[in-house]
Amino acid sequence: MPPNSAGYLHGNLEHHLDHLAPFCSLMNWPLIVTESEMFELAKLYYPELEVRLHHPLQAPFEVTDQFNFIVTTLPRALFDDIFCIAELTLGKRLKTGWLPHGHSDKENLEPLAKEETLFVYGPNFICGTSSQTLVPIGNFRAVYFQKHRHFYSTLLDSLNIKQSFILYAPTWNDARNSSSLENAADILIQNLSDFPFLIKPHPNETQTPRSIQRKLSSTCWLDNFPPIYPLLERTSHLIGDFSSIGYDFLHFNRPMFFLKGQNKAAPLHKMGKTVNATDLPAELHLPQHNLHAAREALYHATFGKQVPWETIAKQILDSINYDS
């Protein structure tokens, strides 16, 4: 019997793929994508995932016809903009569940007020109203990574990714000027030239002229590689700014550095040391043992206590009422 549920990724949202793909794979649901680039990335990097490519104009009709519940990273208002004609034509309204694409200190939760079902990591992800269904899902990406650890280890080895390296993972340059990439990348490349060093820019930044120019002169850039946990397992030190990757790195409880910027410090920044790009690499040698307990506490507050995925999957299915 085909599944009544599926995931839906609209457009080239590579940074959303690493959330929907593991979730759908763990749930044994297909993931519908509308762009060939996302289809190829999903097929390449997410084992055991059924991924289907539909034309963006036809996808709403095909999805509405075949499924009853859709998990998506789109707020319901944006989802309705895409699916309203298909739903009116077919006389059917899809139920949706919103899946977060990272625990971000930049997140604006107001657009989520109309969501029917919210999948949340843990205690710190508080939003919505009492009328909403909140379903805790824990750190499901870490669960998915552990399930496919050998696959990813072999993959990284084939790409000549070292067993241990320093990772710089900045966010994108949004309206708040959250990204440190423009001011820090060249300095870090120069100062960390003697270290195993990898830059994973946000997908929204990879096609800017400045980023392309940098990549031509440096071999430490990694683009079009959505899965983050395989990289974090090999990361000895994380350098970031306001990227949600910092919360994922709490899983490994290793040293973190946050580059000074225009924004106020976020709660995550207390889990590492805030520095200027010129302070590195000198700061790399200083231990951060005093932060181990705090990182562990923030991790559990963010993702909650991890329970067996089978238990979570049952709670997810129980929360979906297809007939109401």
Question: Which range of residues forms the domain containing residue 212?
Answer: 152-303
Residue 143 located in a structural domain: no
How far, rounded to the nearest angstrom, does the alpha carbon of residue 59 sit from its chain's CA centroid? 23
Q: Indicate which CATH number applies to the domain containing 267.
A: 3.40.50.12580
**How many other β-carbons are positioned within 10 Å of the β-carbon of residue 264?**
7
Q: Among 179, 247, 259, which residue's Cα sits nearest to residue 211?
A: 179
Q: Are residues 158 and 294 in the same domain?
A: yes
Q: For residue 304, how far is the Cα from the chain centroid?
A: 17
77 and 156 fall within a common domain: no
0.85 exceeded by the pTM? yes
The CATH number of whichever domain residue 126 belongs to comes to: 3.40.50
> What are 30-69's pLDDT values in tens digits?
999 999 999 999 999 999 999 999 999 999 999 999 999 9
The pLDDT of residue 314 is: 94
On whether both 264 and 297 belong to a single domain, the answer is: yes
Residue 144 domain-assigned?
Answer: no
Residues 313 and 289 reside in one and the same domain: no
pLDDT bin (cut points 50, 70, 90) of residue 1 is very low
Do 38 and 66 share a structural domain? Answer: yes
Q: Over the stretch 79-101, which tens digit does the pLDDT of each residue have? A: 999 999 999 999 999 999 999 99
Mean pLDDT of the chain, nearest integer: 89
List, in order, residues 6 or more apart from 285 with CB less than 8 Å away: none
CA end-to-end span of the chain, whole Å?
A: 21
pLDDT, one tens digit per residue, over 164-219 is 999 999 987 665 656 778 788 889 998 998 999 999 988 877 666 566 666 666 66
Mean pLDDT of 152-175: 90
Residue count of the chain? 324
| Amino acid 129: pLDDT | 43
Same domain, 231 and 288: yes
For 20-24, 207-211, 230-234, which range has the lowest pLDDT when averaged over its residues? 207-211
Confidence of residue 310 (pLDDT cuts 50, 70, 90): very high
Which run of H or of E encompasses 236?
strand 235-240
